[in-house]
Homo-oligomer: A and B are copies of this chain.
Amino acid sequence: MNINTYDCGSVKHLSTLFKLLAEPNRLKILCSLGLECRPVSDIIESTELSQTNVSFHLRALREAGLVKPERKGAFIYYCLPDPELLRLLGDFRHWLEEHQKEKTVV
């Protein structure tokens, strides 16, 4: 390995995280949650996805610890245990905008 090689830590962990975030519907779900806790029915409504599909993606996010379920009666509320994630997403979005600008300039 070269001395100038950048250390990305465990590439595996990073890539599985990005894989989760790479699915548009999962991103939608995360964004629709925002800083609030919402029942699945809410998520279904705001994302306009099928119940099965939402449940499918929630499972993936849940198992990765990106969302946390909390039962309240018949409903299960989901929230982001660490809202810092939203900041990171914002950073990327911001970078993307800047990056696009540069590309058009160059």
In angstroms, Cα B82 to Cα A98, docked, is 10
CB distance from A41 to the nearest CB of B (A): 13
CB distance from A40 to the nearest CB of B (A): 14
A9 at the interface (CB under 8 A from B): yes
Known: A91-B88, A95-B84. A5 touches B34 (CB 8 A): yes
Name the prevailing secondary structure of the A interface residues. Answer: helix
Chain B residues whose CB sits within 8 angstroms of the CB of A97 once the complex forms = 9
Known: A82-B99, A88-B92, A95-B88. A24 touches B5 (CB 8 A): no
Known: A1-B46, A4-B35, A15-B21. 13 other contacts (CB 8 A): A5-B31, A5-B34, A6-B32, A9-B96, A11-B24, A11-B28, A11-B31, A14-B27, A15-B23, A15-B27, A22-B22, A81-B106, A88-B95
What residues make up the interface of A, taking CB atoms closer than 8 Å to B? 1-2, 4-19, 21-24, 27-28, 30-36, 42, 46, 65, 81-82, 84-86, 88-93, 95-99, 102-103, 106
